[in-house]
Chains A and B, each alone.
Chain A
């Protein structure tokens, strides 16, 4: 079994280093604000930190063993000195903060530390935030708060100033893809959307969007059509294209998909077959790559990027696409 602390270190080296230092130097702050995109591992990190505080046999004096009774109880939500609250419906209500206060005016049930985790802390109502503030102003000894948020700008500045901030770097596409698959997104779709954004919620939304699924297949058909030679072959395909991609933003996305197709081809050419945007097309792309020279591939990518630039300068979309398709087809002239 992989060590979750080491895994976290790989994804968020800076954050984990700060935590390691505060544990080793016995300089644990009263409050931490964990800020970062969804899926960047804020909650896992807060739980790891809590386990480190409670762990009976920490490895190298800071890494939780994950096996002792305290680590297990934290994992199962059964540790009586760790309290986690989540939004109740749309917001975190004052009563939930009151519950924490009630908990923390008392001594710990069995240990020295009293830890609380407030997930989506930006969802606190104004009065909940004010109550929490009072409590952060007079922290009792050995109390540690973890406030988790996607946007620290939505946290009261008076709360922010009382927290040590830990900023989580955006999720990488491999990790994001993995998270999408966990959310039951198909591998082809997860591979593609994880390349288009590094935001979990956005990627999820896109992966479940019918328009996007259709966009993907239209672009792929058009790419296949380009290989067929002769303009007549692509006319019906491009009609489908124009009726689907109407808005400028939609055309822009289509161009992004073309870029990703060609980046996959480039990867395959260089022997790197992992992390493709279209892994389900591997066999077909391998064939295409054999027929392409590196120069031609570079030319095509330059054309697509050029088209993207011109799209932004408000050129007629249909004209722009026709010119691009001709250029891309030209690349296949030898067939």
Chain B
């Protein structure tokens, strides 16, 4: 392998892939970054085996020459040293040359480093994009899908499958579901670009959080491929791979109530602030539990009581209310998480009883659904 490249472009690529490199790996080659030179350009890869990030630097961009490839090939260099060296090199271009024993010479200006490398073939083999199974979604939509669901994944190891978000594609609709068994977040989209085929994968919550940091807030398309072992997202020059969770995601659709006994419409912001205030005292208590009650006259009251500290009661104005009187207790944290995830200035909450899950939706929009299990009191 032999090439020269613009320093700032290489440094930017290294920053992208470093996000996936972990110093705590037990697999020696993963402490490195893989560098691969092809006629089209330079590909950098970093991985902690859970997630892998590839960054592509084209040899030419428009009229601008970024890299000159003299000899194709690859090598794996220690991530930490590689990063530090590149950042501190004096000139604006850097030359690389790797010998057959993976010894790599890095030259820039009058500085020359010789770094011991590893065989690029030994680096984990990532799935290739096969154009047939690619589908596309806008980057900002992908980010929204993640933001509205990922917070509800389980952090406990008792049911590992619940630590991920279920992405299910059926009849051209993508349904993202996350639950920690105490609350559930669901987001649907039938955006153009979704495939006709059926897909059903569970993506680790942590991976999605990382992906979200990488994607830009634009409507540029992201290419998505789901394989047996991995899911892959590609924006312009960056590829993000994540392993999947092994096993079947529970069928939650039958657990979401489709009827209600009480329905209350509220202003999202006012209600969120009231819940926040009530939780101020509840947080010091045992469960962060608040009570909500509604009268037959449409009044809604939120309260909480911690014997050692005090109590708080607040009347909330409802936009509309129908159905039975209601008294229910729930976690203020779950409610606030759900309200923050909902887009829309007005919401409706549908209850079916004090011991049954209730459902929060933006008013006149059924693409988002937040479900919370109540707290049983004695």
Contacts and interface: CB of A to CB of B under 8 A. Distances in A.
Given A78-B29, A101-B157, A106 B125 contact: no
Contacts of B161: 105
Contacts of A107: 228-230, 243-246
A109 B26 contact: no
A116 B229 CA distance: 18
B255 interface: no
A79 B119 CA distance: 13
Contact of A78 (B50, B122, B245): B122
B243 A83 contact: no
A109 B124 contact: yes
A309 to B, nearest CB: 54
A80 B124 contact: yes
A249 B188 CA distance: 80
A76 B122 contact: yes
B160 A78 contact: no
A73 B28 CA distance: 10
B243 A106 contact: yes
Interface residues of B, number: 27
A77 B161 CA distance: 28
Interface in A71-93: 72-73, 76-80, 83-85
A108 interface: yes
Nearest to A76: B122
A80 B157 contact: no
A186 interface: no
Interface string B212-236: 0000000000000000111000000
B49 interface: yes
Contact of B246 (A72, A99, A110, A140): A140
B27 interface: yes
Interface in A104-126: 104-110
Interface in B41-58: 49-50
B258 interface: no
B121 interface: yes
B247 interface: yes
Contacts of A109: 49, 124, 229-230, 243
B13 interface: no
B124 A110 contact: yes
A69 interface: yes
B204 interface: yes
Given A72-B122, A106-B245, A107-B245, A78 B28 contact: yes
A277 to B, nearest CB: 42
Contacts of B30: 80
A220 to B, nearest CB: 48
Contacts of B243: 106-109
A83 B50 contact: no
B245 A80 contact: no
B304 to A, nearest CB: 36
Nearest to B201: A107
B229 A108 contact: yes
Interface in B112-151: 121-127
B27 to A, nearest CB: 6
Given A76-B28, A83-B26, A105 B122 contact: no
A69 B122 contact: yes
Given A69-B121, A69-B122, A80-B124, A106 B246 contact: yes
A107 B228 CA distance: 8
B27 A80 contact: yes
A105 B246 contact: yes
B229 A73 contact: no
Interface string A51-72: 0000000000000000001001
Nearest to B243: A106
Contacts of A110: 124-127, 229
Contacts of A99: 26
Given A77-B28, A105-B161, A109-B49, 16 more contacts: A73-B29, A76-B28, A78-B27, A78-B29, A79-B27, A80-B124, A85-B26, A104-B246, A105-B246, A106-B50, A106-B204, A106-B243, A106-B245, A108-B229, A109-B243, A110-B125
Interface of A: 69, 72-73, 76-80, 83-85, 99, 101, 103-110, 140
20 contacts: A72-B122, A76-B29, A77-B26, A77-B27, A78-B122, A80-B27, A80-B124, A84-B26, A101-B160, A103-B49, A105-B160, A106-B245, A106-B246, A107-B243, A108-B229, A109-B230, A110-B124, A110-B127, A110-B229, A140-B247
Interface of B: 26-30, 49-50, 121-127, 157, 160-161, 163, 204, 228-230, 243-247
**Top-4 shortest CB links A-B:** A105-B160, A78-B29, A107-B229, A106-B243
